[in-house]
Amino acid sequence: MTSTSTDFDAEVVVIGAGVVGLAVAARLARDRSVLVLERHEGIARETSSHNSGVVHAGIYYETGSLKHRLCLEGNSALKAWCDDRGVPLARTGKLIVALAEEERDGLDAVYRQATANDVPGIERISRAAARELEPAVPIVEAILSPSTGVVDAFAYARSFEAEAHAQGALFAYRHELRGVERMPGGFVLHAVDLDGAEATLRCAALVNAAGLRAHEVAALLGYPLDGGTCEAGADTVEVPMLRQRINVGRYYDIVNTSVARSVTRPIYPLPDHRAGGLGLHLTVDTEGGAHLGPSMEWVEGEFALDYRNDDTWRDAFLQAGRRFLPALASDDLAPGQVGYRPKLQRPDEGLVDFLIWHDRGYVHLGGIESPGLTASIPLAREVAEGLR
C-alpha cells in the first residue's frame, strides 16, 4: 500500500524544541505542515538555555567544516534576525588573550585558523591596545574579533517558536518520543505524555533535533550507534557514528556588580579542544551580568541531567577567574548555571564536526554543541534543503 499525505498527522515532525528544532520548525513551516514534539513543558529547557549565549565568529573550526561555514553564516543571519524581531543582542566583540608570555605562540595558531576561515575584521592587537579595551584584565597580547556578540539565548529560541506558530506549526509539549517505525512513505511515532497517556502520530519526514538524546532517538529507529550499515529493503545504508558523549560545563556568576561591570566583552583564553571546550572564559550577558565558565568535564556512562550547581568548585573558579581579574575575591562569585555538551568527539580527541545525516526522510542532527546556537538558522536551512 502506498501512503498519501492524508495518512499523515503532519508532513514533518521535529523532535525537540531547543533552538535548533525551533529554527527548523520555523523554516519548514513556511511550506509544509510541521509538528514539534517536546518532552518538557515548554521550549529550550535543556542546552539551549544553559550556554554562554555567545554569537561566535567562526574562529576555531577546521576550514570548510560545517562548524566553520554554518557559524560564519549563522553569525550574520542571527544578528539580522535579532534586529528584525527585537531579540536582545549585544555587539560586544570578543578578545582571545594570552595572559602569559608563553601563551603568545598559542595565539599565533588561533590567528592563523581565524584568517584561513575568513573571519570578518579579525585583528591581532598589542598589550596596550588590549588593555585600553579591557583595563581590568592583565593581557599580554590579544586577538580581537569584532563580529562576535552576545545574544539572549532563551529570547532567541522563543522568537523561533513565535515564527513557527505564525507559520502554522503545531506544538506537542509534554510529549516524549518513545518509539518509531518506518511505514510506506514515512514514519509512525509513539509518544507518551507526562501523565502517561500514549499517542500515535504519522509523518512523512522526521527531524531529530533531540540534542543530548539525539542518539537515543536514532536507536529507536534501529540504527547502529557506533556506525556501520543497516538494511533498507534491497539496499544497504551506511550509518555514521551517532553515539554522543557528554561533557559538562559549569559556570560561576560574578555577583559583585562593580567587578562584573569592569569587563565589557567576552574574554577567552587559548582554546583546549581536547578537554572539550574553548577554555573557561569570562562572558558578559545582554543585561550587564558577567560569568566565568564553562568548565570541561567528561561524563562517564549513564548520566542524569542535573542543572543544580553548588560551592564545590568555588576555589577552582576563583583560581581560574584570578587569571583574568587578579583582584577577584571569593565572595564576588556565586554558583551559576550548568550546561551539557552533546559530543561526537571522544575524550582526548580534537574537534569533531556537526553531523547532518539524511536517510530516506529521516534527518539526524548529531553533536550539536557549540556553535550550535550561532549556527541555528543555517542548520535549519541545511535540513530544509536536504528534505526537498
Ligand X SMILES: Cc1cc2nc3c(=O)[nH]c(=O)nc-3n(C[C@H](O)[C@H](O)[C@H](O)COP(=O)(O)OP(=O)(O)OC[C@H]3O[C@@H](n4cnc5c(N)ncnc54)[C@H](O)[C@@H]3O)c2cc1C
Minimum CB distance to ligand X smaller for 141 or for 210: 210
What DSSP character marks residue 300? P
* Cell numbers representing residue 271 in the block: 582554546
Verify binding: residue 46, ligand X, rule CB under 6 A: yes
Sites for ligand X among residues 256-315 (CB under 6 A): 294
Verify binding: residue 176, ligand X, rule CB under 6 A: yes
For the chain, what is the radius of gyration of the CA atoms?
21
Minimum CB distance to ligand X smaller for 18 or for 185: 18
* Cell numbers representing residue 187 in the block: 514514519
Verify binding: residue 45, ligand X, rule CB under 6 A: yes
* Cell numbers representing residue 239 in the block: 550509518
C-alpha angle 115-116-121 in degrees, rounded to nearest 5:
30
What is the β-pairing status of strands 333-343 and 355-359? unpaired
d(CA 269, CA 296): 14
Under a CB-based contact definition with an 8 Å cutoff, are residues 145 and 278 in contact?
A: no
Verify binding: residue 56, ligand X, rule CB under 6 A: yes
Minimum gap (Å) between residue 354 Cβ and ligand X: 9
Please identify which residue in 10, 13, 14, 17 interacts with ligand X, judged by CB under 6 A: 17
Residue 320: φ, ψ to 5°:
-65, -40
Please identify which residue in 8, 12, 13, 16 interacts with ligand X, judged by CB under 6 A: 16
Minimum gap (Å) between residue 177 Cβ and ligand X: 4
Minimum gap (Å) between residue 230 Cβ and ligand X: 20
Verify binding: residue 145, ligand X, rule CB under 6 A: no
Size of the site for ligand X (CB under 6 A): 41
Name the helix (H) or strand (E) containing 379: helix 376-386
Minimum gap (Å) between residue 250 Cβ and ligand X: 8
d(CA 246, CA 299): 6
> With CB under 6 A as the contact rule, which of the stretches 136-144, 160-168, 205-213, 238-246 interacts with ligand X?
205-213
d(CA 36, CA 17): 7
Please identify which residue in 14, 35, 38, 93 interacts with ligand X, judged by CB under 6 A: 38
Binding residues (CB under 6 A) for ligand X: these are 15-21, 37-40, 44-48, 51-54, 56, 176-177, 209-213, 217, 249, 294, 339-341, 368-374
